Amino acid sequence: MSETVLHEVADGVATITLNRPEVLNAQNAELMDALRDSMLAVESDPAVRAVLLTGAGRGFSAGADLAARGSGGTTDPGETLRRRYHPLIECMRRMPKPIVTAVNGVAAGAGMSLALAGDIVLAGESATFLQAFSKIGLVPDAGSTYFLPRLVGDVRARALAILADRISAAEAERFGMVWKVYPDERLIDEARSLAGHLAKMPTRAYGLIKVALNSSSDNSLSDQLELEAVLQSEAGQGEDFREGVAAFLEKRAPRFTGR
Ligand code: LHQ
C-alpha cells in the first residue's frame, strides 16, 4: 500500500486523500497508480455509496510532479496520460455513485482537471485554481478541455487555458466550476457531512443521473429524451423508488438502501 494516497471507508463513504503535502500533492507515478487503484476499488465496492476526494496539507494537487522522471520531459506525456490519467478520469465520470471533491488549496494543471472530474466540487475560501499547463509549454489535459468549456463557457475556458491565471475559489464559484465555498476550517466537515448524507440516499438513481448528464451535451434532444426514458425505466424498478413513494405517502423519512 502506497502512503501517497490515503483510503478509508466508513459508514458508506470512501475518503480518498492525496498525500504528498510537501509538494502540494503533486502527482508522481506512485500517487497516480494508487489513486487509480483506489477509485477502481470504490467503483465496485457495494459498501461504498459516496466518495470524498481531498488533499492533505495546504494544497489539493499541484498537477503532474515536474521533478519526477516521466513528467519533467524525459518521456512522452501523452503516454503517461493514456496509462495513468485516462483510466482514472473515466472511472470517476462513470462511477455509479457521487464523488464530492473538497478542494482544500491550490488545484493546478492536472490537479485542477482532477478536482473538476468530481460530481460536486466544494472549495475552501483560500483554494485557488490554475490551468498551469501553458506556463510550461503544455496543453490542458486530463479532461480540462472537456470539463472547462462545459462548466464555464467558451470565453472563460479559452482565457483560463491561454492566460493560465490563478483564480480564487470565489471566482471559481462565480464562473460555475464550484458548487459551494466554505471557510477553510469548515471545508472538510462540510464535505464529510455532504458525503455522509449522499451515502444514505438513492445511490442507484444517482448513478443513473450521472449517465444522463454525462451524455447530455453530446446528444440531440430526441436522443436525450429517449435516454431519460430508458434510465427512468431502470430507476422505476428500483427498491428505492418504491421506498421513496411509500415514505412520501406515509409522511415519514425514506430509508433508502441504494438498490
Ligand atoms: C511541486 C509542484 C509540481 C513538483 C509545487 N511538481 N513539485 C500531466 C501528465 C503528464 C505529464 C505532464 O503534465 C501533465 C499535466 C500537468 O499537470 S502540467 C502542470 C504541472 N503543474 C504545474 O506546472 C504547477 C507547478 N507549481 C506551481 O506553479 C506552484 O507550485 C503552485 C502555483 C501550484 C503553488 O505555488 P505556491 O503556493 O507558491 O507553492 P510553491 O511553489 O512554493 O510549492 C511548494 C512546494 O511544492 C515547492 O517545493 P519546495 O521544496 O521548494 O518547498 C515546489 O517545488 C513543490 N511543487 N508544484 N507540480
pLDDT tens track for 75-100: 799 999 999 999 999 999 999 999 99
Whole-number pLDDT of residue 76? 92
- Taking only the tens place, the pLDDT of each residue in 153-207 is 999 999 999 999 999 999 999 999 999 999 999 999 999 999 999 999 999 999 9
Whole-number pLDDT of residue 74? 60
- Taking only the tens place, the pLDDT of each residue in 49-84 is 999 999 999 999 999 999 996 555 567 999 999 999
Residue nearest to atom 14 of ligand 1 (CA): 64
Does ligand 1 lie within 6 Å of residue 139's CB atom? no
- Taking only the tens place, the pLDDT of each residue in 104-144 is 999 999 999 999 999 999 999 999 999 999 999 999 999 99
Residue nearest to atom 19 of ligand 1 (CA): 109
Atom of ligand 1 nearest to the CA of 135: 23
92 CA distance to ligand 1 centroid (A)? 23
Atom of ligand 1 nearest to the CA of 106: 33
DSSP line for 3-71: TTEEEEEETTEEEEEE--GGGTT-B-HHHHHHHHHHHHHHHT-TT--EEEEEESTTEEE-SB-TTSTTT
Domains and CATH numbers, the chain: 5-199 (3.90.226.10), 203-249 (1.10.12)
Does ligand 1 lie within 6 Å of residue 80's CB atom? yes
Does ligand 1 lie within 6 Å of residue 29's CB atom? no
1 pLDDT band, cuts 50/70/90, is confident
Longest C-alpha distance within the chain, in Å? 64
